[in-house]
A and B are shown apart, each in its own frame.
Chain A
């Protein structure tokens, strides 16, 4: 086996040093009833590189890769162009094959990029502090709700109607464990939310997503005021972080906690994971924040350096009193995020956002002009919802025949909701050429005709 350096002679010499007759002597504590014989498993024998490549390439080829079609899916995962240098840098051995930076003297590379990542996330979201990442946007949102409940010591959680349903389900799963009471606002695709009336003195937080799952943008300011007036916190959720290149930061609109999916920057679609959860808040809530934090300090020689800090919040110190059970987070995806955002810089990030918006505006115009199609979302960033004259799922399936991956039918997200049957959620990014958009418009007209 190519990955195992010990030879049979080495093994014999090592057993001799140990004073064991055979490897079986080292497993004496295993009850004999639980020992499995060789050949018992219904699993294949080991393969060389070539065979593994052949097998997995065959599975890969059975899928329709986004890049092989005109591609317009979003709904929480977005296809952006990632510069080649990002993937090169994150595959450097020193980043890829290191552990959590428990020994700071020989982990400054990881610690410094985490410090840079935290700074970038805080800047983008308009918040004071950010952590070193969580698993993804949905788990970040669930952690945000738990944190708000700890801070306010209240049970009630108001979820906006435009919250991504997977996020709502993740939040609900976690919140119910500790007596949380979830109040979900009605879904009104493309229309404003009336959440203020759902907030009362028992409300821990209001969760608002903007752009929401239908693409609609929301002004967080009135909601922040309404929440704060009742002593509740505002949790802002973002699926598409590129939107922050053009749109007002949630922190500037009164959000207390921001939970976002960071996949759009630096990370591919990967069929849903691994992604990177962004989590930011106000400094006064710092000690209630979940997850790792890199902090600046000095070494014994007076040189600036970085360490993991405030770990008294964390499970390895606080055990059952920790703010979260999270240990492994999304370090390498955070690195990809940081490198990509460093390449973009202020100008590039704003230009990327404008480009996304322009593509989406053009796409909305072209698709909205197809007979029978109605644009449901009037104000949006790079994603919007259409009402089709037919069930959207069948239309999407028919579009695959035209080599168009035309978006996500709302019925996939809200099964059983008859009002969602005709809705289609469509996203455009800088990766969509004008030709792609024309292809889609023609294909949609053909499929609907």
Chain B
């Protein structure tokens, strides 16, 4: 090792073959972080609030008798704690996030800034309507975008996420059937559907009848026809579907469904593949939710909040839930109850308190305005192009069940290329973590063995896609070459190695308790 004249090494030292673990248990930027309850103490507070002035309490003798048990911390301690926690998360801002069906696209910060304008963020849902006309205009503008892009005549804005939107759509269908005094207890759901579809249909009081998959990844229209009857309320179909394919016989599906008097509900989770190019309204769809947090990029936030407005056909529009937004001579107005309904309106009820996810509406509209109609079309096309590029670049080393293509916005692989390697889809996915990538969606859709569903989105450059492809090719080759050490027990370089999920479920520990600490100390 050479030194400069202060005795300071000018070349890196040579690391020993076996490094001792650090003294602190931390590793460079990777810090171990206790729970907030283990950091706090009594007698300190991270917010300076004045003591309440003297007053005569009016609590009717219902005062709390026991302490809550919350820890006390100063502001810098709280900030450091959550900053440290944040660094244990992968994020789209930090890397390609190919989670199929989840649409991890860029989240523009402009949208965050707009959602924080005081005229939106500091507005009470029950202020006099004369004082919120700008907010109602924003909702109306977003409704126009959604109806225009989907070619549908109505949209219900209040659902709070995709599954909530599904429920809204199915309730509108239920109301329409009730209005016709019909009995239709059955809902058809393809095997390949998102789990929310059968769960929603069951929640809405329908009996779920599964349509088996066909060999080509498309809906089995003969099996569908065989199940269609006058007791079917609806089909719930995802398009583009969960295999990443556009249902090429969708017009036949719509016709067959309508012929028996049933409704066509579309899971719009994958609308981002076709927005600006295809209007679901032209496909015979009666209802479809739109995940604003997917297609229109309101951030996923580690699992929400989302927003799931539902576009509705003319047949379902009258049953849209409260509140409704109507315009008259005095401006825009929310109809919040049945006493002042517009003509032809017969709401099935209410999905939630107030008027929906306003904060998400602002972000989605900001995204739409930034793109314009052509930009949205370009984003869809780039998403589809990128997925097909990944498919074309990997199908010789990985196995794609529907390799003849084209796919839509996601490329589906199965695990047959791993046959006899001793490596599973799970191992392969975990090895991607060591390579610096969030894994793709694993083991979904259920109709493909060991499924790996890759959705690159339109947010990646060609260089980023090429690098990703090179890493996946390399891993596939390593697996086939029998280099199991890359896979067994991966990830090795993440903040945690594989976690014992079985133990977590067998003896659930769902909260911190003081007793647990005492126990651990024994």
Rounded to whole angstroms, the CA-CA distance of A23 and B61 in the bound complex is 71
Rounded to whole angstroms, the CA-CA distance of A97 and B181 in the bound complex is 46
B1 within 8 A of partner (CB) = no
| Residue in A1, A97, A105, A129 whose CB lies within 8 Å of B300 | A97
Q: A177-B205, A315-B199 are in contact. Are A247 and B62 (CB under 8 A)?
A: yes
A319 within 8 A of partner (CB) = yes
What residues of chain B lie closer than 8 Å to A89, measured between beta carbons?
79, 82-83, 86
B122 within 8 A of partner (CB) = yes
For residue B41, which residue of chain A has the nearest CB?
Answer: A345
Min distance, Cβ B342 to any Cβ of chain A, angstroms: 15
Rounded to whole angstroms, the CA-CA distance of A57 and B167 in the bound complex is 34
Rounded to whole angstroms, the CA-CA distance of A222 and B366 in the bound complex is 51
Contact check, B118 vs A67: say whether CB atoms are below 8 A apart.
Answer: yes
Most chain A beta-carbon neighbours within 10 Å: one of B124, B126, B307 = B124
Contact check, A10 vs B85: say whether CB atoms are below 8 A apart.
Answer: no
Contact check, B121 vs A331: say whether CB atoms are below 8 A apart.
Answer: no
Chain B 164-202 residues near chain A, CB threshold 8 A: 164, 166-167, 171, 174, 194-196, 198-202
Contact check, A269 vs B122: say whether CB atoms are below 8 A apart.
Answer: yes
Min distance, Cβ B249 to any Cβ of chain A, angstroms: 9
- Stretch of B309-317, B374-382, B417-425 lying at the A interface: B374-382
| Residue in B82, B200, B251, B494 whose CB lies within 8 Å of A325 | B200
B133 within 8 A of partner (CB) = yes
Most chain A beta-carbon neighbours within 10 Å: one of B166, B336, B360, B508 = B508
Contact check, B127 vs A64: say whether CB atoms are below 8 A apart.
Answer: yes
Q: A75-B126, A173-B350, A295-B504 are in contact. Are A112 and B33 (CB under 8 A)?
A: yes
Q: A298-B500, A333-B305 are in contact. Are A97 and B299 (CB under 8 A)?
A: yes
For residue B39, which residue of chain A has the nearest CB?
Answer: A342
| Residue in B199, B340, B357, B461 whose CB lies within 8 Å of A5 | B461
For residue B277, which residue of chain A has the nearest CB?
Answer: A36
Main SS at interface, chain B: loop
Contact check, A299 vs B500: say whether CB atoms are below 8 A apart.
Answer: yes
Proximity string of chain A (1-45) to chain B, C-beta cutoff 8 Å, 1 when within and 0 when not: 111111100110111011110010111111101111010011111
What residues of chain B lie closer than 8 Å to A372, measured between beta carbons?
none
A288 within 8 A of partner (CB) = no
Chain B 18-38 residues near chain A, CB threshold 8 A: 32-33, 35-37
A91 within 8 A of partner (CB) = yes
Min distance, Cβ B122 to any Cβ of chain A, angstroms: 4
Contact check, A13 vs B499: say whether CB atoms are below 8 A apart.
Answer: no
Rounded to whole angstroms, the CA-CA distance of A67 and B122 in the bound complex is 7
Q: A217-B60, A316-B195 are in contact. Are A106 and B438 (CB under 8 A)?
A: yes
B326 within 8 A of partner (CB) = no
B13 within 8 A of partner (CB) = no
Contact check, B349 vs A361: say whether CB atoms are below 8 A apart.
Answer: no
Proximity string of chain A (59-71) to chain B, C-beta cutoff 8 Å, 1 when within and 0 when not: 1111111111001
What residues of chain A lie closer than 8 Å to B61, measured between beta carbons?
219
Chain B 275-307 residues near chain A, CB threshold 8 A: 276-279, 282-283, 291, 293, 299-307
Contact check, A397 vs B128: say whether CB atoms are below 8 A apart.
Answer: yes
Chain A 416-436 residues near chain B, CB threshold 8 A: 416, 430
Contact check, B71 vs A177: say whether CB atoms are below 8 A apart.
Answer: no
Proximity string of chain A (339-360) to chain B, C-beta cutoff 8 Å, 1 when within and 0 when not: 1011111111101101101100
Chain A 90-138 residues near chain B, CB threshold 8 A: 90-110, 112-113, 115-116, 118-120, 122-124, 126, 129-130, 132-133, 135-138
**26 A-B contact pairs sorted by A residue (CB < 8 Å):** A26-B384, A44-B369, A56-B117, A76-B354, A85-B75, A90-B301, A95-B86, A105-B494, A119-B37, A119-B512, A123-B70, A132-B303, A169-B349, A245-B68, A270-B120, A272-B354, A272-B358, A297-B509, A301-B497, A320-B201, A325-B196, A331-B304, A333-B301, A405-B124, A405-B128, A430-B49
